[in-house]
C-alpha cells in the first residue's frame, strides 16, 4: 500500500470534516474508512472487506464499537481483527485468520492522523515526530481546509517558497515586498537541516525579513509570525490521490472561548490567501519531479531540499 507516500504520519481529515461514523476517506490513492469505537477512539481500516471486497464504509458501527460490514455482517475491531462471521460457526483458530487491514491512527491537533504503512501486516510504526506546537488538548486547535486539484508535492513546495508572495500575493500578504522586488531589490534564503526537516531564514537585501519557516517531513510547513506558538500557522498538504491535495491550516488557541473567533478568521483570511495559491498551483502539472528541465535559482533552495527528500523516499519503494 501507499507506494507513492510510504511510511509517513500525516493528518487525513480534520474532525470538523467528519460527518459520519464510519467515514470513507481517500489518502494517497488508498480508500480508507475511519471509525470511532465506543471509547471514542478513532481507527482506520482499508475500506475493503476481506470477505468479498465490499466497502466497509457502507457498514455500521455496532454497540460494541466494531465495524460491521453492510453485506454479510462480518464484524471487525479497530485493529482489524474479525470478531464475528454471522451464520457460520467458525472456531477461534479459523476466526483469528480473518483480518481487515488496519493502520495506526491518532487524534492530534484537531485532526485524525494515519500512518501510511507500506506493509500494514508488518507495520512497526514509529511514534509521530510532532512539533511541540501541535501537542496538547486536540480541542484547542482550529482547522480550515481546501481541496486542490494538484499533486501534493506541488502544493507542499508552494508553502516553502519565499520568492512568490511579492507577485502571487501582490494584493495581500506580499504587498510590502512587491515594489521592492520591482525596483530591483534582492532577497536570499538560508536553510539549516534539522532532525525534522529544515529551517529557512529569509533576508531582504542585507537584513532579515523577520520571517522564519520550518518544514517538517513529509508535508507540514510552519510559518512563524511571532515568538509564541499561538501566532504560528501550520499548513499541511495532504495527498488525496495523484491529482488532489487537501490543504489544511491549523492554529493553536489558548482556550475554548477563542475557537469560534479563530475559525471565522481562518475561513476568511486563510481562504482568501489559499485561493491565490491554489489558482497557480493547479496550473502546474504532475509532481515536482515530472519535468527535469525546470530551472532553479538560489531562492529555490528549500524546494530543492524537499525534492531530494521526496526522490529518496520514493526510490526505496518504486522500481523505475
Ligand atoms: S463482503 Fe463484507 S461481509 Fe461479505
Ligand atoms: Fe503563497
Which residue's alpha carbon is nearest to atom 3 within ligand 1? 72
Q: Does the CB atom of residue 51 touch ligand 1 within 6 A? A: yes
Whether 179 and 270 share a structural domain: yes
> Strand runs (DSSP E) across the chain, as ranges?
9-14, 23-27, 30-36, 42-46, 60-61, 67-68, 75-76, 82-84, 102-103, 105-108, 111-115, 141-148, 187-193, 197-204, 207-216, 220-224, 232-241, 244-252
Who's near 67: CB < 8 A, 6+ residues apart?
Answer: 22, 33, 35, 43, 45, 56, 59, 60, 61, 75, 76, 77, 100
Whether 47 and 93 share a structural domain: yes
Query: What strands lie across the sheet with 9-14, from one edge to the other?
Result: 9-14, 111-115, 105-108
pLDDT of residue 89: 84
Residue in the structure block whose three cell numbers are 525596483: 183
pLDDT of residue 315: 83
Cell numbers placing 298: 538560489
Who's near 5: CB < 8 A, 6+ residues apart?
Answer: 27, 28, 29, 116, 152, 218, 239
Q: Which residue has the higher pLDDT, 206 or 215?
A: 215
Q: Does the CB atom of residue 223 touch ligand 1 within 6 A? A: no
CATH code, 90: 2.102.10.10
Cβ(33)–Cβ(24) under 8 Å? yes
Domain boundary among 95, 127, 159: 127
Q: Indicate which atom in ligand 1 lies nearest the CA of residue 73.
A: 3
pTM value surpassing 0.85: yes
Whether 94 and 148 share a structural domain: no
The C-alpha angle with vertex 276 and arms to 27 and 30, in degrees rounded to 5, equals 5
Residue in the structure block whose three cell numbers are 511571532: 226
* Of 229, 192, 225, 230, nearest in space to 209 by CA: 225
Cβ(238)–Cβ(247) under 8 Å? yes
pLDDT-derived band of residue 229, with 50, 70 and 90 as boundaries? confident
Task: Report d(CA 4, CA 228) in Å as an integer.
Answer: 35
Best residue among 22, 45, 54, 82 to mutate for probing ligand 1's pocket (most ligand atoms within 8 Å of CB) is: 54
98: left (phi over 0), alpha (psi -120 to 50) or beta: beta
149-162 confidence digits (pLDDT tens): 999 999 999 999 99
Distance 56 CA to ligand 1 centre (A): 8
Per DSSP, the three-state class of 274 is: helix
232-241 confidence digits (pLDDT tens): 999 999 999 9
Which residue's alpha carbon is nearest to atom 1 within ligand 1? 52
Interstrand relation of 111-115 and 9-14 (parallel, antiparallel or unpaired): antiparallel
236-273 confidence digits (pLDDT tens): 999 999 999 999 999 999 999 999 999 999 999 999 99
Task: Report d(CA 270, CA 297) in Å as an integer.
Answer: 28
pLDDT of residue 319: 53
pLDDT of residue 63: 97
pLDDT-derived band of residue 318, with 50, 70 and 90 as boundaries? low
Distance 230 CA to ligand 1 centre (A): 47
Residues in a beta bridge with 146: 247
Q: Indicate which atom in ligand 1 lies nearest the CA of residue 69.
A: 2
Q: Does the pLDDT of residue 41 top 70, yes or no?
A: yes
pLDDT-derived band of residue 25, with 50, 70 and 90 as boundaries? very high
Distance 51 CA to ligand 1 centre (A): 5
pLDDT-derived band of residue 288, with 50, 70 and 90 as boundaries? very high
Distance 67 CA to ligand 1 centre (A): 11
Whether 45 and 169 share a structural domain: no
Best residue among 47, 60, 69, 83 to mutate for probing ligand 1's pocket (most ligand atoms within 8 Å of CB) is: 69
Q: Does the pLDDT of residue 12 top 90, yes or no?
A: yes
Distance 104 CA to ligand 1 centre (A): 23
Per DSSP, the three-state class of 4 is: coil
Whether 227 and 293 share a structural domain: yes
Which residue's alpha carbon is nearest to atom 4 within ligand 1? 72
Best residue among 33, 48, 50, 51 to mutate for probing ligand 1's pocket (most ligand atoms within 8 Å of CB) is: 51
Q: Does the CB atom of residue 55 touch ligand 1 within 6 A? A: no
Whether 119 and 156 share a structural domain: no
Whether 155 and 39 share a structural domain: no
64-73 confidence digits (pLDDT tens): 999 999 999 9
182-204 confidence digits (pLDDT tens): 999 999 999 999 999 999 999 98
Give domain status of residue 134, yes or no.
Answer: no
- Looking at every residue in the chain, the average pLDDT score rounds to 94
Whether 226 and 311 share a structural domain: yes
Q: For the chain, how many structural domains are there in total? A: 2
Task: Report d(CA 89, CA 164) in Å as an integer.
Answer: 64
Q: Indicate which atom in ligand 1 lies nearest the CA of residue 56.
A: 2
Task: Report d(CA 238, CA 11) in Å as an integer.
Answer: 7
Q: What is the span of the domain harbouring residue 240?
A: 142-315
pLDDT of residue 124: 82
Whether 105 and 50 share a structural domain: yes
Q: Does the CB atom of residue 100 touch ligand 1 within 6 A? A: no
Give domain status of residue 91, yes or no.
Answer: yes
Give the total residue count for the chain.
320
Q: Does the CB atom of residue 70 touch ligand 1 within 6 A? A: no
Q: Does the CB atom of residue 49 touch ligand 1 within 6 A? A: yes
Cβ(36)–Cβ(46) under 8 Å? no
Whether 108 and 185 share a structural domain: no
pLDDT-derived band of residue 320, with 50, 70 and 90 as boundaries? very low
Interstrand relation of 197-204 and 23-27 (parallel, antiparallel or unpaired): unpaired
Q: What is the mean pLDDT of residues 119-148?
A: 92
Q: Does the CB atom of residue 311 touch ligand 1 within 6 A? A: no
pLDDT of residue 316: 75
Amino acid at each position: 500500500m501507499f507506494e507513492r507516500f510510504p511510511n509517513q504520519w500525516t493528518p487525513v481529515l480534520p474532525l470538523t470534516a467528519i460527518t459520519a461514523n464510519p467515514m470513507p476517506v481517500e489518502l494517497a490513492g488508498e480508500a480508507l474508512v475511519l471509525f470511532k469505537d465506543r471509547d471514542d477512539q478513532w481507527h482506520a481500516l482499508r475500506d475493503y472487506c476481506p470477505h468479498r471486497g465490499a466497502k466497509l464504509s457502507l457498514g455500521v458501527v455496532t454497540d460494541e464499537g466494531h465495524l460491521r460490514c453492510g453485506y454479510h455482517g462480518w464484524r471487525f475491531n479497530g485493529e482489524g481483527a474479525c470478531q464475528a462471521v454471522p451464520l457460520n460457526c467458525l472456531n477461534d483458530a479459523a476466526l483469528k485468520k480473518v483480518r481487515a487491514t488496519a493502520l495506526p491512527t491518532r487524534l492530534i491537533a484537531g485532526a485524525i492522523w494515519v500512518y501510511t504503512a507500506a506493509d500494514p501486516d508488518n507495520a512497526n510504526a514509529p511514534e509521530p515526530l510532532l512539533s511541540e506546537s501541535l501537542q496538547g488538548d486536540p480541542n484547542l486547535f482550529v482547522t480550515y481546509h481546501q481541496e486542490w486539484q494538484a499533486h501534493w508535492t506541488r502544493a507542499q513546495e508552494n508553502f516553502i517558497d519565499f520568492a512568490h508572495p511579492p507577485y502571487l500575493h501582490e494584493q495581500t500578504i506580499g504587498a510590502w515586498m512587491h515594489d521592492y522586488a520591482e525596483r530591483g531589490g534582492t532577497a536570499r534564503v538560508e536553510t539549516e537541516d534539522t532532525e525534522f526537516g529544515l529551517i529557512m531564514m529569509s533576508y531582504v537585501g542585507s537584513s532579515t525579513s523577520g520571517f522564519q519557516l520550518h518544514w517538517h517531513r513529509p508535508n507540514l510547513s510552519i510559518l512563524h509570525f511571532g515568538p509564541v506558538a499561538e501566532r504560528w500557522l501550520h499548513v499541511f498538504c495532504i495527498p488525496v490521490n495523484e491529482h488532489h491535495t487537501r490543504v489544511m491550516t491549523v492554529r493553536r488557541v489558548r482556550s475554548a472561548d477563542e475557537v469560534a473567533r479563530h475559525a471565522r478568521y481562518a475561513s476568511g483570511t486563510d481562504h482568501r490567501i489559499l485561493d491565490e495559491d491554489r489558482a497557480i498551483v493547479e496550473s502546474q502539472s504532475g509532481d515536482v519531479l515530472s519535468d527535469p528541465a525546470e530551472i532553479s535559482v538560489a531562492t529555490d533552495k528549500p524546494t530543492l531540499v524537499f525534492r531530494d527528500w521526496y526522490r529518496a523516499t520514493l526510490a526505496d519503494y518504486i522500481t523505475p
